[in-house]
Amino acid sequence: MSALDAEILALLRKVSETAILPRFRNLSAGEVEDKGGNDPVTIADRESEKLLREGLARIDGTIAFVGEEAAHEDPSVLDRLDQPCWIVDPVDGTRNFANGHGPFGVLVARAEGGFTQSGWIYDCLTGRFCSAHRGKGAFVDGERVTAKGTGRTPPVAAISLVYMEEARREATKRHIEPAYALVDIPYCAAEQYPRLALGENDVSIFERTLAWDHAAGVLWLEEAGGKAARPDGSPYRVDEHRRTGLLGASSPTLWDELAALYAHL
């Protein structure tokens, strides 16, 4: 594990133990709010983001900070995505967390030029730590991993329909779902991306593609040998925050098969 990875892990572990886990199954009614569209935020999200902002500034305070909650309060924060920046989801899987169950985690990425250069995924309940740096491979708890599929026929798919418009949702059900064995989505990118590389799922479809949800996972999956890209094959950029649609797969072949079906939507 690199010195930077060790620093990030220490920070994520501390934030989890200080701001997140003490609130798990211990939230009062006034500590959970709805940002709109069934998108909850809790006191843990806000406290975690504050600690992460402070901790990442100590690691490198020369680059911008883009946090999910800061961007919700001030959308102009998103303008920082086109410059070197930290990108943070302080509690990924807040819906699960607020309802008293897992999975949930913390996502941190470092981006430059519109692309993730480093990404980290921390599972608060298990302590699993995924890390990746562009061109240097993907790791779980310091051990290099290579993406593997489930080996099942049909392949296993986790398809998020939550943010799709009705017409696209129905088209997905008709043209894509019959080709796969469907499993529930975890409502947590910090869990979904590891599933794609660790032999649990083969493919996923994401409609909403906000940087804090996907910057770390896209890089990690690709560095493991899987593939994540826009449905037209273009690479995922963190600064294209208004675009929707993202396909992930445990291998380029499985990605191509999913993209061919998606093209009929």
Q: Annotated binding site, which residues?
A: 68, 89, 92, 213
Radius of gyration of the chain (CA): 17
The count of other CB atoms within 10 Å of the CB of residue 162 is 14
CA distance 120 to 244: 23
CA distance 54 to 204: 33
The Cβ-side half-sphere exposure at 87, using a 13 Å CA radius, reads 32
CA distance 22 to 33: 18
**Under a CB-based contact definition with an 8 Å cutoff, are residues 255 and 235 in contact?**
no
Q: With the C-alpha atoms ordered 222, 218, 148, 231, is the resulting torsion angle positive or negative?
A: negative
Q: Annotated binding site for Mg(2+), which residues?
A: 68, 89, 92, 213
- Tell me which amino acid residue 89 is: D
The count of other CB atoms within 10 Å of the CB of residue 234 is 10
Q: Which two tokens stand for residue 237?
A: 């950029």
* DSSP structure class, residue 235: P
- Tell me which amino acid residue 111 is: A
Strands, sheet with 138-140, edge to edge from the N-terminal-most edge strand: 64-67, 85-92, 105-112, 115-123, 129-133, 138-140, 143-145
The count of other CB atoms within 10 Å of the CB of residue 27 is 17
